[in-house]
Structure 1
Amino acid sequence: MSADPMSLLRLEKTSLREQALSSLRRAITSGQIRPGTHLVETELSDAMQISRGTLREAMRQLQQEGLISAGARGRMTVRHLDAKEIRDIFSVRAALESLAVRELSDREDREDAVEVLRDAVREMERRETASIEDRIEADLNFHRRMCQLTGNETLVHSWTSLEGSIRMSIMFAGVDRGIRNMDARRHLDIVDAIATGDADRAAATVTAHMMAAADTLVA
């Protein structure tokens, strides 16, 4: 059977969009493109050697993720998070992750999930002298895995949609304050609470974790 040329073109276009999306997301969340920067389509499309249509598709996704916003005449600008926005992000995280730990605490096989999360904490410990990028990845991996272990795809999708904003909140706060939230012991407290099977205790531990993290970032 011969290949459908139009299907191949669609795949190529999707690949370019994903590459552009990944590149822009990384540049924004790492601070390479600073908050408040106006994103000029002609400059970006030329620099990335992609069409303006493909670039717009990637930028629409970044807007949905909360990394960029539309201003006057539709001009796209990298968002600058303020203290209220960071607290709002962490309040939503607390709600999502409280649901995750409640579901895990109620499971009869919760010890399997607990062991996976203990491994994630050990990985955080191994990276305590690594770069800030590696430490951020280890921290996010712990929280992402906690949601994934529930098997609740809607929960995972909702958490993932915040990931860009979470990275930006760390950039907003600076390395020193961001690292304070990556202490492995704080995360082990969550795992220990899940292990008890007490869903209320686990949810309260996660909520306290998130509120303390927000306080550190906006202090």
Structure 2
Amino acid sequence: MTAEPGFLRLEKTSLREQALSALRKAITTGQIRPGTHLVETELSEALQISRGTLREAMRQLQQEGLISAGARGRLSVRHLDTKEIRDIFGVRAALEALAASELASRPDRADVVAELRGAVEDMERWAASNLEDRIEADLRFHRTLCRLSGNETLMHSWSSLEGSIRMSIMYAGVERALKNMDAKRHLEIVDAIESGDGVAAADAVRAHMAGAASVLVDGAA
């Protein structure tokens, strides 16, 4: 009996997603270092997938900002410089400060604060886990902050930066990355939102992002 085309597409999609997840993890945790050239034949063999499926995953990684094309179209893991790091955190600060300011004025602020505190508790729960889990918990907090604002344009803009955000997290190595994942630093944002002061909430986000960028670029605590 011939397999239905729909089943074949699902299988292909599954392989693509698995490859995408494996490559994204390897890049964002530093297993594949910035500047590394990605060789199709080697990767397709290592992942045991076709080169066509690999190309689909690589296109997605390009869109996410994790890899970039160089001379003659050769793909390599993106390498960020200090200006790009500061630019990324500057844009994050603008987006998330807007979200925090809007949330501080919401009539359902108590519910918003409860969900954000839950996200911080998740960070605390994963604090003794592996690096990948800690990165995901940190990103969940910031994604939740933007999502709860109800501003779809803001959320879309933040999501389009997510690949660059992931790259920036590991810019200066594990030790500095972990400093920026401290749950207490994130509670300062939640407390400011809970106060109902939109200006204070926005300022808390800007201070958080400026501090995070300084940790990565300058090594400041």
- The TM-score, its normalising length taken from structure 2, stands at 0.89
Partner of 2:105: 106
Q: 1:41 to 1:144 in 2, by over 3 A?
A: same
Identical pairs, percent: 72
2:76 is paired with a residue whose SS is: strand
**Alignment partners' CA distance in 2, 1:68 and 1:130:** 27
Report the more deviating stretch, 181-190 or 29-38: 181-190
Give the secondary structure class of the aligned counterpart of 1:173: coil
User: CA, structure 1 residues 12+135, in 2 after alignment: closer, same or farther (shift >3 Å)?
Assistant: closer
Specify the alignment match of 1:133 in structure 2: 132
1:13 positional shift: 1.9
Structure 2 contact 25–132 (Cα < 8 Å) conserved: no
Answering whether residue 53 of structure 2 is matched by residue 54 of structure 1, we say yes
Q: What is the alpha-carbon distance in structure 2 between the residues aligned to residue 7 and residue 133 of structure 1?
A: 33
CA RMSD of superposed structures (Å): 2.0
SS of 2:171's partner is: helix
Change (3 A) 1:131 1:73: same
Structure 1 residue 57: Cα displacement = 1.1
> Once the 2 structures are TM-superposed, how far is the Cα of residue 129 of structure 1 from its aligned partner?
3.9
| 3-state SS in 2 of match to 1:77 | strand
Amino acid across the alignment from 1:203:
A
Where 1:119 maps in the other structure, the secondary structure is helix
C-alpha distance in structure 1 between counterparts of 2:8 and 2:153, whole Å: 31
After superposition, the C-alpha distances for 1:65-99 in whole angstroms (9 at most, x for unaligned) are: 11111011100011111111111111111122112
Partner of 1:162: 161
For the 8 Å contact 2:65–2:164, the answer to whether it is kept is: yes
Aligned positions of 1:1-219 closer than 5 A: 5-219=4-218
Moved more, 70-79 or 131-140: 131-140
1:24-82 alpha-carbon deviations (Å, 9 max, x no partner): 11111111111111111122112222221211111111111111110111000111111
Amino acid at match of 2:72: R
- Please state how far the C-alpha of 1:4 moved relative to its aligned partner: 8.6
Alpha-carbon distance, 1:206 to partner: 0.6
Residue 151 of structure 1 aligns to a residue in which SS?
coil
- Cα 1:131–1:20 change in 2 (3 A) is closer
- Structure 2 unaligned residues grouped into runs of 5+: none
Worse-matched range after superposition: 71-80 or 102-111: 102-111
Query: Which amino acid in the other structure matches residue 186 of structure 2?
Result: H
Offset, 1:161: 3.1
Q: Provide the C-alpha distance between the structure 1 equivalents of 2:190 and 2:15, rounded to a whole number of angstroms.
A: 40
Distance 1:135 1:47 in 2: 26
SS at match of 2:170: helix
Write the letter of the residue equivalent to 2:141.
F
The total of aligned residue pairs comes to 217
SS in 2 for 1:44: helix
